[in-house]
Structure 1
Amino acid sequence: MLLGVNIDHIAVLREARKINDPNPLDALGVCKLANADQITIHLREDRRHIHDEDAKNIIKTSTLPVNLECSINEEIIDIVCKLKPQRATLVPENRQEVTTEGGLDLKTNYKKIQKAIKQLHENEIEVSLFIDPTKEMIELSSKLEVEWVELHTGTFANIYAMLYGNLSNTHHSIKELELSREVLKEKLDKSKKQIKKASNQAVKLDLKVAAGHGLNYQNVRQISKIKSISELNIGQSIIARSVFSGLYQAILDMKELIK
């Protein structure tokens, strides 16, 4: 199982004080030493964490492949084509969101996504689509002729946190998931089966499969057991642990869990 380490939250910490430290660029060597397989960053339209200069320096400097997450905004796609990361993962964006809330709606935005994919491919950039794990989204991804899909695991992660974590007892409790343990267990099982089914379907259609969003040291094993998934992209939980254990050890701990 490959691990892409998302280093956005190093930039989040920097932007909390609007200063130059910590610099996400400094994470590259540590990620390499800890045997991460990929660097993942998200160049958002609002530049709330990673900035253009960050993306430029990371792509230029990294000895690991760089997976650049971005919206389908034409200006952003133009920037990505100039930066030339190894892969671009197209994701939905809502400026009011705290983090990405779901997968791309390939049906509604088909033509615009198709145009973005064509432009990226013309610049020799691999394309991945961040999608919800449904049959329709997998089929449309295949039709769009991308190399990768990344399955959104956020729903699974939220259910897991409400069932096995302490989230329900905090002000971050998810109201629509304030359900009985029995119901949450059923929902979690259904979510895992949906992810596995979508992953298997994608592989049959010659798509490479990644997964990510909300994965952490408690829930990741349930997803890493799905053999048709070949890569996980994980950020916040790794950076959060690194505050206490250091980034090198935090990556090693995650690698151990998903091997």
Structure 2
Amino acid sequence: MTKLSVNVNKFATLRNARGGNNPDLEQVVRDCEKFGAEGITVHPRPDERHITTDDVFNLKKVVTTEYNIEGYPDERFLKIIEEVKPAQATLVPDPPEVLTSNAGWDTIEHEEFLKEVIARIKLAGVRVSIFIDPIPERIEGAAKVGADRIELYTEAYASQYHSDREDAIRSYANTARLAKDLGMGVNAGHDLDLKNLHYLKQQIPFLDEVSIGHALVCDALYLGLENSIQRYKRQLV
């Protein structure tokens, strides 16, 4: 079964736009899980433009499924992981000023850094996933530095899906199989939606998890949150 982890960053962005606590992020998380989400993802950036550090700790008390905290593994992030001890830490190579995650790790160039970071996170008993492009050498590098899983960065797949979905998926399916053969789990995320998700699942049937936020929240404006989550889950069957 491929789990759906709902990224709740956009709910926090909406809350922060007016101040106060509307929408109530803790209630959003409870409802996402009640409506069928098998995980909750947050990305606490240093500028706290959506998820705040307080949110990360408060949601730890609320999440009953798998809690996934993603971000750049600086000292601030690592201390959060060590204190909160989520089910999974997803390492993303984005600097603080970028709008959203826009590239995967070069696991060859950053081999020593990633080895040290991953070893430290594993000491806290937390599973480690690396955000990565579908490049075989970098997948092999992920295994070498000790990652438990990879998260395939799927923007390129989503961009090409409507023009040539077979070509769009090819590198992803090949590198997913390579990761599996190397003993790692396979997650996926970025720009996945109700149009392209089912084909991704068909071609990579052993996907462990997809993390979806922006598209799901946009769909929820029209379809409602419960209906949207259920529709995304049906794409993963």
Aligned to 1:196: 173
Tell me the equivalent position of 1:92: 93
Alignment partner of 1:213 is 2:190: yes
State the Cα deviation string for residues 49-91 of structure 1 (Å, max 9, x = none): 1001111011122111101101121222112211111110000
Q: Are the aligned partners of 1:66 and 1:85 in contact in 2 as well (CA < 8 Å)?
A: yes
Contact 2:8/2:213 (CA < 8 Å) preserved in 1?
A: yes
In 1, Cα distance between the equivalents of 2:140 and 2:47? 31
**Structure number with bigger Rg:** 1
Unmatched tracts of structure 1, length 5 or more: 165-183
Deviation at 1:29, TM superposition (A): 1.9
Report what 2:236 is aligned to.
258
Secondary structure in 2 matching 1:68 = strand
Secondary structure of the corresponding residue to residue 112 of structure 2: helix
Say if 1:74 and 1:116, in contact at 8 Å, map to a contact too. no
Q: Which residue of 2 aligns with 1:54?
A: 55
Aligned residues: 235
Secondary structure, aligned partner of 1:210: strand
Matches within 5 A, 1:75-224: 75-160=76-161, 164=162, 184-185=163-164, 188-224=165-201
**1:234 alignment counterpart:** 212
CA distance in 2, matches of 1:113, 1:24: 32
Whether the aligned pair in 2 keeps the contact of 1:8 and 1:24 (CA below 8 Å) is: no
Secondary structure of 2:118's aligned partner: helix
Moved more, 119-128 or 240-249: 240-249
Cα offset, 1:141, TM superposition: 0.9
AA aligned to 2:228 is A
**Partner amino acid, structure 2, of 1:32:** E
Percent of aligned pairs sharing the same letter? 30
Contact 1:6 1:40 in 2 (8 A): yes
| 2:128 alignment partner, SS class | strand
TM-score by length of 2: 0.94
Point out where structure 2 has 5 or more consecutive residues left out of the alignment: none
Q: Does 1:243 align with 2:221?
A: yes
Give the Cα–Cα distance (whole angstroms) in 2 for the partners of residues 105 and 12 of structure 1: 29
Give the Cα separation in 1 of the matches to 2:123 and 2:224. Answer: 40
Residues 1:148 and 1:228: Cα distance change in structure 2 (over 3 Å): same
Q: TM-score, normalized by length of structure 1?
A: 0.86
User: Which residue in 2 is equivalent to 1:174?
Assistant: none
CA contact (8 A) 2:6 2:213 kept: yes
Q: Which segment drifts farther, 195-204 or 107-116?
A: 107-116
